[in-house]
Chains A and B, each alone.
Chain A
Amino acid sequence: MSEPEAILIARAAHDAEAFGALYERYVDRIYSYIFYRVGNVHDAEDLTARVFYGALAHIDDYRPSGAPFAAWLYRIAHNLVANWHRDRSRRRDIRLDDAVGIVQRGDGPEHLAERSEQARVVLSAMATLPAERQHLLILKFVDGMSNAQIAKAMGRTEGAIKSLYHRTLIALREELSKREL
């Protein structure tokens, strides 16, 4: 049975192996989130590394105040991605090639072209949404979080998340219709 998280986090503040175990628990989720926000492997790897080095440097600052440890990591990731967008002035456009390649995995050749075009359109539309809405979609569909979990991760009420999800789908649909999908 894996170590309870609260104990692992307490140990991670002064035990290198414990921090390594925390990393293994969360690296996939954080990497996924960043990958879909920046759209390419190189920057996703760079920012993922920065998230965990930043977490290590400030592990003493983490307080289990009701929000899960993942929420703390997502907040670090969210801020780093926001800085990345600002520094590169890539407000809207992301490189989609890597992301489309990921979506192609597991498909038969007869559907490959269709899915890759569809993925390109959806990801392009998603990239135009405000960061908060992209964040919601990634937590819901990539991470598989429930509305209650997303609410904790984003520091909102569950009702607010439901409303945000509704508005996000409307905005995404509008962007997709512009792209004739």
Chain B
Amino acid sequence: MTRDRLTEILAAHSEGREPSAAPDRTVNHAEPDRQTELNSLLETAALARQVLVPVSPAPAFRARLHDGLVLAAHHQEAQRMLQRPRSEPPWGWLIGAAALGSAAGLVAIALRSRGQPAKSGVGPQPQQ
């Protein structure tokens, strides 16, 4: 029995099934060392399987952690909603920009009208 074959037998045994068909499917009794090796490793696996049983957390801890996680998840989702970019136009910015533009326009008109000479006959006229 090769080492690879031993690997396959151990892997199959760990899953509770027979190893795939191979020329040396039954252990060759002319190889007592391999048989001894196989038995020893199977015993080791059996010991590990016997000791390593599933465990569960204490019910109080389990419930407490569940409640804490759900609360944290709610908080996390609320944070995400606050940070989400807005889909509607920023009306405040638009109105502010329009007001600023209007004010700038009025100032420009006032400055232009101060700089132009008077067009009526009233007041001193330039000498001809």
Contacts and interface: CB of A to CB of B under 8 A. Distances in A.
Interface of A: 12, 14-17, 19-20, 23-24, 27-28, 31-32, 35-36, 41, 44-45, 48-49, 52-53, 56-57, 102-103, 105, 118-119, 122-123, 126, 137-138, 140-144, 146-147, 161-163, 165-166, 169-170, 172-173, 176, 181
Interface stretch (B26-34, B53-61, B92-100, B103-111): B53-61
Contacts of A16: 70-71, 73-74, 77
A172 B7 contact: no
A122 B48 contact: yes
Interface in B1-30: 3, 6-8, 10-11, 14-15
6 contacts: A27-B57, A32-B55, A36-B55, A105-B53, A166-B3, A169-B44
B51 interface: yes
Nearest to B49: A141
Contacts of B8: 162
A41 B58 contact: yes
**Shortest 7 CB-CB distances between A and B: which pairs?**
A16-B73, A141-B52, A162-B11, A122-B51, A173-B44, A166-B7, A169-B41
B104 to A, nearest CB: 45
A19 B10 contact: no
Q: Looking at chain A's contact residues, is the secondary structure mostly helix, strand, loop, or mixed?
A: helix
A162 B5 CA distance: 11
Size bin of chain B's contact surface? 35 or more
Given A14-B77, A14-B80, A20-B73, A126 B48 contact: yes
A116 to B, nearest CB: 10
Contacts of A41: 58
A138 B52 contact: yes
Contacts of B65: 23, 27, 45, 48-49, 52
Contacts of B118: none
A27 B62 contact: yes
Interface string B53-92: 1111110011001101111111011001000000000000
A118 B47 contact: yes
A147 B15 contact: yes
A176 B47 contact: yes
B10 A166 contact: yes
A45 B61 contact: yes
A166 B40 contact: no
Contacts of B6: 166
Given A19-B69, A20-B69, A123-B51, A56 B76 contact: yes
Contact of B53 (A14, A20, A102): A102
A56 B45 contact: no
Contacts of A20: 66, 69-70, 73
Contacts of B52: 36, 137-138, 141-142
